[in-house]
Amino acid sequence: MRLYPSILKGGAKMNILNSIRFIVIAGFVAAMGTGCGSGGGSGSTPGVSGGGNTLSTIVSGTASKGIIYPGTIYFYGIDATGVKSGTPITSVNTDEKGRYAADLGSYIGPLVVEASGDYTDEATGTKVTIAPTTPLHAVIDLVDNSTRNNRVIAVTPLTELAYGMADSLKPDSITAANQRVCGMFKLADIIGTEPVKADPAVMGAAGISTEQQAYTLALATLSQMANNAHTGSAASFDHIRSLVDSFKADAGISSTAGLGKGNSTAFASALASATSSPEMAKFSQPISSLSSVGSPMLQLRLAAANVPAGTKLGGLRATITLPPGASIPADAQGQVSDGLIVPTGAAAGGTAIAAGNYNQTASNLVVSLISSSASGFGDGDCAVITVNVLPGSTLKASDFAASINEAKDAGPNYGAVTGVTVSLK
């Protein structure tokens, strides 16, 4: 398989970033998507402000711990210094599915979303209230009025966790926190994926993705965890908030920590209880994806070597074989979540990650780098890859195998480069 189709030869190189989606569709690698924390789920539609030609910033999504209805959603802007506005842009109500949609007018920038209202606790079937003074939060790096960036934003205990873990409310910190929680809970996108009611009939309905099912089961499992920890007590949102605080403490141990042993064990036990009925047990794929929730993460550095003297690489594709006990979050098509493959070293300047595709059956990860810079990159580290490992794992970089599939030079014709090797450290 060629790394670049002919459409990208010659002068088209300057448009390489705009052409990445075409490359993927053409068969270069698996289809690109929004990935973890990048929003962009289906269902968001650009609106028109005042009947003129100016597009409004439109956001929509679902508020759930289970489904929050009746509920109220508030939207707050964030300024360039990372300070949340004291006054909401607007507010809307949820419908019976916990969904909302809001027109933010001309607002462009990072956004905090707050949700309060009533939900039915999945573990006990009782009504629980989230007070407006202690709402659930979600935070996203950018909303604007383009058709691409009108965003879907879920508001859940997991987005609350990310909100609390963000070092600041600046875009980079927001994205990093959302991605971190994705990795902890083995979900591709906690922001852009919309959970549904934890009812087998609803979860199994046409159009509900495996990722939505997994997200829904994760939230139901939190209720079961809280119920297990507070046997004999009435369900309370304070119990959920205490869990979120406990998860945050676990994650604070290190930059790659997952859940602690206690919370990992409690989640696994609660998951088994929450999915013990025959109706729930049929969701085997999402249940499997949640089975390693809490696992810590390991960072691998992919390095290129033996690039010929005087040559710079414009692209590289390599296969990494993961050992037992290691995995990487990906959607049903194998597309790796955003932020888990990041350019570094000489490749960091002007290099885009074209795609990461994970074949769970073969335990193979295909990593593809495309340089948008005429200078390209040479020997040395070119990407950092974050994978999940099991609690207590002693896996290290030498337990992973890496091989080169294809290398291309940075010249206008993207010629093949031979002799290049890759390694992990």
pLDDT at position 292: 78
pLDDT at position 177: 93
Three-class DSSP category at 285:
helix
Q: What one-letter code names the amino acid at 277?
A: S
Whole-angstrom distance, CA of residue 72 vs CA of residue 77: 17
Are 285 and 300 contained in the same domain? no
- Going by their DSSP bridges, the two strands 326-327 and 380-389 should be labelled as antiparallel
Are 115 and 77 contained in the same domain? yes
pLDDT in tens, 333-390: 888 876 678 888 777 766 666 568 999 889 999 999 888 766 788 999 988 888 888 7
pLDDT at position 365: 96
Neighbours of 244 (CB within 10 A): 19
Peptide bond connecting 343 to the previous residue in cis, omega within 30 degrees of 0:
no
Tokens of 96: 């019976």
Using CB atoms within 10 Å of the CB of residue 297, give its burial: 0 to 12 exposed, 13 to 18 middle, 19+ buried. buried
Question: Phi/psi at 153 (nearest 5 deg)?
Answer: -130, 110
CA angle centred on 234, ends 232 and 237, rounded to 5°: 130
| Residue 152 belongs to a domain | yes
Of 299, 340, 335, 301, the closest CA to residue 422 belongs to 301
Three-class DSSP category at 279:
helix
Are 306 and 223 contained in the same domain? no
| Residue 39 belongs to a domain | no
Are 245 and 365 contained in the same domain? no
Tokens of 378: 């040479």
Three-class DSSP category at 370:
strand
Are 218 and 338 contained in the same domain? no
pLDDT at position 390: 74
Q: Which of 290, 323, 352 is the last residue of a domain?
A: 290
The sign one gets for the Cα dihedral 393, 398, 402, 408 is positive
Diameter of the chain by CA atoms? 72
| Residue 41 belongs to a domain | no
pLDDT at position 147: 64
The H or E element that residue 16 is part of is: helix 16-25
pLDDT at position 55: 84
Tokens of 204: 């199994």
- CATH number assigned to the domain comprising residue 358: 2.60.40
| Residues whose CB falls within 8 Å of the CB of residue 172, separated by 6 or more in sequence, listed in order | 141
Whole-angstrom distance, CA of residue 92 vs CA of residue 219: 23
CA angle centred on 347, ends 141 and 325, rounded to 5°: 75
Are 243 and 364 contained in the same domain? no
Q: What one-letter code names the amino acid at 407?
A: A
Whole-angstrom distance, CA of residue 163 vs CA of residue 246: 14
Whole-angstrom distance, CA of residue 292 vs CA of residue 274: 16
pLDDT at position 337: 72
The H or E element that residue 223 is part of is: helix 210-229
| Residue 37 belongs to a domain | no
Tokens of 94: 């949820």
Are 166 and 267 contained in the same domain? yes
Are 340 and 258 contained in the same domain? no
Whole-angstrom distance, CA of residue 297 vs CA of residue 10: 40
Are 67 and 28 contained in the same domain? no
pTM: 0.69
Are 63 and 175 contained in the same domain? yes
Tokens of 292: 């390693």
Q: Which of 246, 272, 290 is the last residue of a domain?
A: 290
pLDDT at position 239: 97
pLDDT at position 63: 98
Q: What one-letter code names the amino acid at 184?
A: M
Q: Which of 256, 290, 324 is the last residue of a domain?
A: 290
CB 104 within 8 A of CB 113: no
What is the 3 state secondary structure string of 110-155? Answer: EEEEEEEEEEECCCCCCEEEECCCCCEEEEEEEECCCCCCCEECCE
CB 127 within 8 A of CB 120: yes
Whole-angstrom distance, CA of residue 93 vs CA of residue 318: 48
The sign one gets for the Cα dihedral 77, 80, 83, 85 is negative
Q: What is residue 398's DSSP assignment?
A: G
pLDDT at position 48: 31
Are 215 and 258 contained in the same domain? yes
Tokens of 213: 């099912």
Give me the domain span that covers residue 69: 47-290
pLDDT at position 384: 86
Quote the number of domains for the chain.
2
| Residue 40 belongs to a domain | no
Are 237 and 315 contained in the same domain? no
Q: Which residues of the chain have pLDDT under 50?
A: 1-35, 37-53
| Residue 42 belongs to a domain | no
